[in-house]
Amino acid sequence: MAVGKKVCIIGSGNWGSAIAKIVGANAAKYDQFDTTVNMWVFEEMIEGRKLTEIINIDHENVKYLPGHKLPPNVVAVPDLAEAAKGADILIFVVPHQFIVRVCDTIKDHIKKEAVGMSLIKGVDEGPEGLRLISEVIKGKLGITMTVLMGANIANEVAEEKFCETTIGCKDKVNGPILKELMQTTNFRVTVVAEADVVEICGALKNIVAVGAGFCDGLGFGDNTKAASCGVADLITTCYGGRNRKIAEAFAKTGKTIEELEIEMLNGQKLQGPATAGEVNRILKSKNMVDKFPLFNAVYQICFNGHPVTDFISCLQNHPEHK
């Protein structure tokens, strides 16, 4: 009898837990997957209990996705190398700032022929400029990489509200398998070959979302917000995402991004400000900062103490309008 492909989810935050609902259900449903899905959980204590124990006994990630049951075949594992060992499909879904450490921890323990799928929105600064997170993972682990990105706010996906997502997969073999693993009636998957485009759009929209939050916090209207907004994930993120929410509070309260993240997100992590920093340094090295006034303004406000009230001038003085 053929043995089903073993799946490991690396990460168990807001999105990792929502995706565990889907992956757990599909792994149990389809023969081509092993029913048991390991989920690496960064261990922490919640009211005197280990988070892994809570997930394995109560089947709920009470900290990062409260109110949603996870399938019982999703097993929380606190040891990262142990969780990833023997997996055929590795789903990477940690905040982007932790990915290098994650890869270093698992690199001697994973199957060489495993396929990775990154759900991480962010970028890395390589020596020659921007590096995609999937490239970082591939560089560290040497495995085939794919990505999954979309307008997918985790809580809405967990509530099974309809949405679409895109898998970027450069080869023809892995696309259909990954689609079967991820797709449900209310989470519709398109597979495309342009994986790099899928990933870069997913990463950069978080900077725009911070800008949208500034607009809301400063009391501008929907037209103003739309001036910084594109399609799909941008629309979603500019209305419903955490980056937007924190940026609005930043503009209204004068507190720092770090203070607000701690106060409002209960351990969840923003990707937009960090991505603005990484992208700014990359643009600087290529003398291209002036071509991206919105990205630059978000960076200056988040990191260099520029007043948020100046934010809109970056749109008023956009080079395209000259």
Ligand X SMILES: O=C(CO)COP(=O)(O)O
Ligand Y SMILES: NC(=O)C1=CN([C@@H]2O[C@H](COP(=O)(O)OP(=O)(O)OC[C@H]3O[C@@H](n4cnc5c(N)ncnc54)[C@H](O)[C@@H]3O)[C@@H](O)[C@H]2O)C=CC1
Whether 15 has a binding-site annotation, put simply, is yes
Residue 24 or 122 with smaller CB distance to ligand X: 122
Cα distance between residue 61 and residue 147, in whole Å: 24
Smallest Cα–Cα separation from 63: which of 77, 73, 74, 49?
A: 49
Residue 110 or residue 215: which is nearer to ligand X going by CB?
A: 215
* Residue of 205, 225, 252, 284 with catalytic role: 205
What's the closest the beta carbon of residue 268 comes to ligand X, in angstroms? 8
- Contact set with ligand Y (CB under 6 A): 11-16, 42, 64, 93-96, 98, 119-122, 152-154, 267-269, 271
Per-residue binding string, ligand X, 134-173, x by CB under 6 A, is -----------------xxx--------------------
The annotation status of 269 as a binding-site residue, yes or no, is: yes
Q: How far is the CB of 96 from ligand Y (least distance, A)?
A: 5
3-state secondary structure of 183: coil
Strand, helix or coil for residue 311: helix
Closest approach, Cβ 295 to ligand Y, in A, equals: 17
# binding residues, ligand X (CB under 6 A): 13
Pick out residues in 256-315 that bind ligand X (CB under 6 A): 271
From the list ligand Y, ligand X, none, which binds 88 (C-beta under 5 to 8 Å, kind-based)? none
Are 311 and 214 within 8 A, CB to CB?
yes
Residue-by-residue DSSP string for 283-295: HHHTT-GGG-HHH
| Helix axes 293-303 and 195-217, enclosed angle (nearest 10) | 60
Strand partners, 20: none
What is the side-by-side strand order in the sheet with 74-77? 74-77, 33-40, 5-10, 89-92, 115-118, 144-149, 163-168, 187-192
- CA triplet 118, 123, 128: central angle to 5 degrees? 120
Rounded (to 5) percent helix, strand, coil in the chain: 50, 20, 35
Binder of ligand X out of 34, 88, 233, 248 (CB under 6 A)? 233
- 33 annotated as belonging to a binding site for a ligand: no
* Binding of ligand X by 243 (CB under 6 A): yes
Minimum CB separation from ligand Y for residue 209, in Å?
10
- Does residue 225 carry a catalytic annotation? no
CB-wise, 4 or 277, nearer to ligand Y?
277
CB under 5 to 8 A by kind: which of ligand Y, ligand X, none does 243 bind? Answer: ligand X
Minimum distance, C-beta of residue 30 to ligand X, in the bound complex (Å): 25
Residue 44 vs 222, nearer CB to ligand Y: 44
287 among annotated binding-site residues: no
Are 83 and 10 spatial neighbours (Cβ–Cβ below 8 Å)? Answer: yes
Please, how many CA atoms are within 13 Å of residue 148, restricted to the half-sphere of its CB? Answer: 25
| Residues in region 103-132 near ligand X by CB under 6 A | 121
Does 241 sit near ligand X (CB under 6 A)?
yes
Residues of this chain, 39-98, that bind ligand X according to CB under 6 A: none
Please choose, from the candidates 148, 186, 183, the residue with its C-alpha nearest in 3D space to the C-alpha of residue 29. 183
Contact assessment for residue 123 and residue 275, using Cβ atoms and an 8 Å cutoff: yes
The one-letter amino acid code at 199 reads E
- Binding partner at 201 among ligand X, ligand Y, none, C-beta below 5 to 8 Å by kind: none
Task: Using CB under 6 A, list all residues that contact ligand X.
Answer: 121, 151-153, 206, 209, 233, 236-237, 241-243, 271
Binding residues: 11-16, 42, 98, 121, 154, 242-243, 269, 271
